[in-house]
């Protein structure tokens, strides 16, 4: 079919409008998934958005500045939490490091450094000793870290987090769990920005349900 230049422009604009409109119409089962069985949340009285991530994931590394900017704009009734995934042995070591540092009050301070080392520089920090050496480079007591890393309390936190991740049927990262009821993946959402737009949509949905 032959179209005039003007007609082509109009059709292109209509196509762009259709894409934009559909992007703001988030469909369950297509853009996000509702969990068959909700998973527990730790955000009493608030709407929880949990990011499931791995320190060595390049996609999580690229998502990090985007979701951090989004987090700063969250209203008071939304609680953002991090859930390190342990989908294999090396991931488990990094997740355990997250909780060991958290128990020492050092997780926030070393969060960027761990991402830079594992996802940015691809350093092979896959054992407790290698991770202990790394955190010691950043001023954390090596022996205290290993003690916490191997502690019952950290293991309990690990098991609780992984149970939640399994319950949400998450097999890849980054992913979001909204209020223990919905799962958002990059593949379903189509982009990092859409993941957060869908999260905003679901937060509003939960806020409306709580107000009823």
pLDDT of residue 15: 39
Mean of the per-residue pLDDT values of the chain: 90
pLDDT of residue 20: 41
Cα 143 to chain centroid distance, Å, stands at: 30
Closest CA to 85 of 55, 62, 106: 55
CA distances in angstroms from 123 to 48, 101, 117, 162, listed in the order given: 32, 19, 6, 24
Residue 174 has pLDDT above 50, yes or no: yes
pLDDT of residue 153: 97
Mean pLDDT for 47-59 is 98
Q: Are 80 and 74 in contact (CB under 8 A)?
A: yes
Take residue 163 and report the two structure tokens written for it. 């149970």
From the centroid of its chain, how far is CA 76? Answer: 19
Least confident stretch, 10-19, 22-31, 102-111, 163-172: 10-19
Joined tokens for residue 172: 């890849």
Separation CA 102–CA 135 (nearest Å)? 13
Mean pLDDT of the 116-135 span:
97
pLDDT of 17 strictly over 50:
no
Percent of the chain with pLDDT over 90: 83
pLDDT confidence of residue 86: 95
38 has pLDDT over 80: yes
Residue 43: predicted pLDDT: 74
What is the spatial distance between Cα 18 and Cα 6, in angstroms, rounded to a whole number?
A: 19
Per-residue model confidence (pLDDT) at position 16: 40
Q: In this structure, what DSSP letter does residue 49 have?
A: E
For the sheet with 33-34, list strands across it. 33-34, 182-185, 175-178, 47-53, 78-84
Q: Give the other-Cβ count within 10 Å of 153's Cβ.
A: 11
Tell me, what's the pLDDT at 211?
85
Residue 24 confidence (pLDDT): 62
Mean pLDDT of 27-56: 95
pLDDT at 1: 36
- What integer pLDDT is reported at residue 12 of this predicted model? 39
- Residue from 203, 168, 167, 173 nearest 185 by CA: 173
Report the C-alpha gap between 173 and 58 in whole angstroms: 10
Q: How far apart are CA 148 and CA 152, in angstroms?
A: 8
- Beta bridge partner(s), residue 53: 84
Residue 51 has pLDDT above 80, yes or no: yes
pLDDT at residue 73 is higher than 60? yes
The helix/strand/coil state of 184 is: strand
Q: What's the mean pLDDT in 129-157?
A: 98
Q: How far apart are the first and last CA of the chain?
A: 54
């Amino acid at each position: 079919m032959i179209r005039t230049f003007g007609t082509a422009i109009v059709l292109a604009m209509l196509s762009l409008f259709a894409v934009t409109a559909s992007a703001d119409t988030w469909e369950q089962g297509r853009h996000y998934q509702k969990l068959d069985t909700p998973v527990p949340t730790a955000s009493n009285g608030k709407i929880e958005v949990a990011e499931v991530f791995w320190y060595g994931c390049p996609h999580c590394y690229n998502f990090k500045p985007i979701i951090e900017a989004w987090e700063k704009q969250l209203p008071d009734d939304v609680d953002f939490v991090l859930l390190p995934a342990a989908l294999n042995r090396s991931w488990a070591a990094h997740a355990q490091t997250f909780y060991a540092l958290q128990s020492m009050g050092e997780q926030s301070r070393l969060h960027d450094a761990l991402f830079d080392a594992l996802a940015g520089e691809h350093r092979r920090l896959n054992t407790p000793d290698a991770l202990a050496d790394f955190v010691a480079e950043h001023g954390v007591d090596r022996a205290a870290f290993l003690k916490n890393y191997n502690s019952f309390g950290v293991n309990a936190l690990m098991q609780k987090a992984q149970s939640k991740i399994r319950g949400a049927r998450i097999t890849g990262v980054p992913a979001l769990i909204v209020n223990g009821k919905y799962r958002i993946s990059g593949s379903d959402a189509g982009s990092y920005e859409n993941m957060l737009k869908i999260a905003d949509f679901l937060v509003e949905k939960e806020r409306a349900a709580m107000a009823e």
